[in-house]
Structure 1
Amino acid sequence: MRFPAGQPPLPAREWLARVIEGQHYRNPMDDTAALDARFSRGEVVDCFAQPIPPCRLMHPGEDLWFYRIPAEETPVPFDIRILHEDERLLVIDKPPFLATMPRGRHITETALVRLRRSTGNDDLIPAHRLDRLTSGVLVFIRRPQDRGAYQTLFASGGVHKQYEAVAPWRGALAEATSEEPILWSDRMEKTRGRMDARIVDGTPNARTLLRGVERLNPDEEAMLRHTYDTKEELARYVLEPLTGKTHQLRLHMCAAGVPILGDPVYPLVRPPEEHSSWEQPMQLLCSRMSFPDPINGDERVFRSSYFVPLAAE
């Protein structure tokens, strides 16, 4: 935490107490005794990992680091599948409902925390992110000395990603993509505190290629119609994001009139208690990822072992 500008200095203990009390998802066990125990164990530190005494005055712009006690979380009932592992990378098939890394109410039930616990490697970090409801290929970096190379590669757009989504069948889109891919290009904005992103006027910052549309086979379609209680004819859409805006594929699909099956946000945001159950995951999968390795130049190709439509195990 960074001490806010414009505030009078406060003792570290008093400020940290206010921070903990203000958490949206606070563990009821994170009480005064737990706060004091952090200080006594030397677990409240500055940016140089030096313990901060409880009486030290904190000033605007100063950082304080501490361990958050996670609130109780509902276990996600899906395993993480390992696709590839070497000295630099750990590549997984992320299941639906599992966040990439801690955020908000999801701390322990995230791919990062699960993998750090199962591998014993606390240096593990993701090279990129997938939405909590999205499944498929997710790359982690194993060693600190390799982080810069891979994170720069992903941030610069040097990675080719292919997604598959199940959504209502639209013959016009299938016919159009039979000749060449369709480019969706829009300006998207997401406001802090809102679940959904929006398409607004302005210079495009989100571009997606729709590469193909094909009908599901009768057995797949029958299973999904029953699971999601829909009478829609369904198809598989092959998508290639050219940019990486939040909810980009989900919003572009919805704007094209084909919202992704199981999406609890587009076209309408549903209350949390009405979100899809474990048996109704959002049908969006990162199915393939490829890139030139920034360390040795080898071509890296990873494919998901899931098959759309995704189904509860």
Structure 2
Amino acid sequence: MSTVRATHASHIVLPENVTDKPTVCSFLIGHFKQIDATVWQQRIMDGKVHWRDGRLITLDCTFVPRERVYYYREVAVEKKVPFAENVIYEDDNIMVAYKPHFLAVSPSGQFVNECLVNRLRIKTGIETLVTAHRLDRATAGLMLLSKRPEQRHLYHDLFKYANITKHYQAIARLTPELYQQHQQGELALPLHWTVKNKIVKGDPSFTMKIADGEANSHSEIELIGVKGEFGLFRLSPITGKTHQLRLHMHSLGMPLVNDRLYPTLLDRCDDNFKQPLQLLAQQLEFTDPVTGIEHKIATKALDIDALIDKTIEII
């Protein structure tokens, strides 16, 4: 099978509490159980595993607690995502970039080079770029990145402690009741919902579900435009649970167009680049914790006529 190697090395710190692994190789084999032992042996023999200072690790190198081991992830050849990222804002400390649909944020799973961080590091030459938060691969929109790893926690805390305001835009098919109101000229916009409920892990584990109990999620949702059977929504998550906006729209009876998880988990298949999830992280508002600058950064707002025309064609 043809494989591709990650452009940038990953690393792991050898733990202090391991006493039954005499060599680095035996530790890697035991720690990464999903990777066959022969793969690690071959990587080491091919010079793809090394210490922090660049010295190559051999099959009989002794396990040294607290030392860093660097290695290069390899996966089957990645399919190129045919959409471009771009930098919206940049200063000495941060970068805000637009991530297109289908592009992973960071190396994970079967994506090592086809991810936003890797593309931006290559494009800008800034090897220290790290993300301050997460965004689903299926979702497009704004990502905040830190240029200085030692400052990353400051920007991550904006999201952790809800000190940043996020606005999304989305398209969904209206409920029959809302569509009828629109047809009769009785639908006054904007129409607003406050959604609060408890979100927990689903089955399979990469999905989420709404459960009984005290709410741990909160979104403010507005219907701001209508064309035909479809609505354009402004979504403002107050909390940041995984798949929160997708679940909250589904709970209103209006799942997002081209959502492959909710309400029905569709069979795994290759990405259909003509059918992106209609969800966009459109605006970020925050006070920079380092400079004190007040930021209000946005991508181009969705064009409801053009986008819904296109959506109607492909669904």
**Partners of 2:28 and 2:40 within 8 A in 1:** no
Kindly indicate whether residue 253 of structure 2 is the aligned counterpart of residue 261 of structure 1. Answer: no
**Partners of 2:41 and 2:59 within 8 A in 1:** no
Structure 2: give runs of 5+ residues left out of the alignment: 1-11
* Distance in 2 (alpha carbons) for counterparts of 1:128 and 1:105: 20
Query: Given residue 200 of structure 1, which amino acid in structure 2 is its aligned partner?
Result: A
Q: Residue by residue, what CA displacement relative to the aligned partner does 1:76-111 show, whole Å, maximum 9, x if unpaired?
A: 111112211221121111100001111111221110
Equivalence for 2:6:
none
Query: Given residue 201 of structure 1, which amino acid in structure 2 is its aligned partner?
Result: D
Cα offset, 1:162, TM superposition: 0.6
Equivalence for 2:7:
none
Q: Residue by residue, what CA displacement relative to the aligned partner does 1:252-288 show, whole Å, maximum 9, x if unpaired?
A: 1112110100111111111112x65101100000111
Kindly indicate whether residue 192 of structure 2 is the aligned counterpart of residue 181 of structure 1. Answer: yes
* Distance in 1 (alpha carbons) for counterparts of 2:294 and 2:201: 34
SS at match of 2:122: helix
Equivalence for 2:168:
163
Equivalence for 1:243:
239
SS at match of 1:167: strand
**Partners of 1:70 and 1:108 within 8 A in 2:** no
| Aligned counterpart for 1:81 among listed residues 79, 83, 86 | 86
**Partners of 1:177 and 1:213 within 8 A in 2:** no
TM-score for the superposition, normalised by structure 1: 0.79
TM-score for the superposition, normalised by structure 2: 0.79
Which region of structure 1 is more displaced relative to structure 2, 146-155 or 240-249? 146-155
Kindly indicate whether residue 43 of structure 2 is the aligned counterpart of residue 34 of structure 1. Answer: yes
Instruction: State, as a whole percentage, how many aligned pairs show the same letter.
Output: 27
Instruction: Give the alignment of 1:62-211 within 5 angstroms.
Output: 65-71=69-75, 72-170=77-175, 172=178, 178=189, 181-191=192-202, 194-211=205-222
Kindly indicate whether residue 34 of structure 2 is the aligned counterpart of residue 22 of structure 1. Answer: yes
Query: Given residue 283 of structure 1, which amino acid in structure 2 is its aligned partner?
Result: Q
* Distance in 1 (alpha carbons) for counterparts of 2:68 and 2:58: 11
Cα offset, 1:16, TM superposition: 2.0
* Distance in 2 (alpha carbons) for counterparts of 1:84 and 1:147: 17
SS at match of 2:233: strand
Q: Residue by residue, what CA displacement relative to the aligned partner does 1:102-134 show, whole Å, maximum 9, x if unpaired?
A: 111122111011111211211101111111010
SS at match of 2:43: helix
**Partners of 2:25 and 2:41 within 8 A in 1:** no
The number of aligned residues is 288
CA change 1:23–1:268 in 2 (3 A) is farther
Cα offset, 1:201, TM superposition: 1.4
Cα offset, 1:172, TM superposition: 4.1
Structure 1: give runs of 5+ residues left out of the alignment: 222-232
SS at match of 1:153: helix
Equivalence for 1:271:
267
CA change 1:4–1:214 in 2 (3 A) is farther
**Partners of 1:44 and 1:51 within 8 A in 2:** yes
Kindly indicate whether residue 284 of structure 2 is the aligned counterpart of residue 294 of structure 1. Answer: no
SS at match of 2:70: coil
Cα offset, 1:69, TM superposition: 2.8
SS at match of 1:300: strand
CA change 1:70–1:176 in 2 (3 A) is farther
**Partners of 1:97 and 1:132 within 8 A in 2:** yes
**Partners of 1:38 and 1:44 within 8 A in 2:** no
CA change 1:267–1:84 in 2 (3 A) is same
Which region of structure 1 is more displaced relative to structure 2, 191-200 or 257-266? 191-200
Q: Residue by residue, what CA displacement relative to the aligned partner does 1:4-61 show, whole Å, maximum 9, x if unpaired?
A: 978833421123245567239x9x9x5634222447xx7145xx999766435549x8
CA change 1:254–1:191 in 2 (3 A) is closer
**Partners of 2:131 and 2:152 within 8 A in 1:** no
Equivalence for 2:4:
none
Q: Which has the higher strand share?
A: 2
Equivalence for 1:226:
none
Equivalence for 1:9:
21
**Partners of 1:177 and 1:210 within 8 A in 2:** no
**Partners of 2:44 and 2:58 within 8 A in 1:** no
**Partners of 2:286 and 2:296 within 8 A in 1:** yes
More relative contact order, 1 or 2 (CA 8 Å, 6+ apart): 1
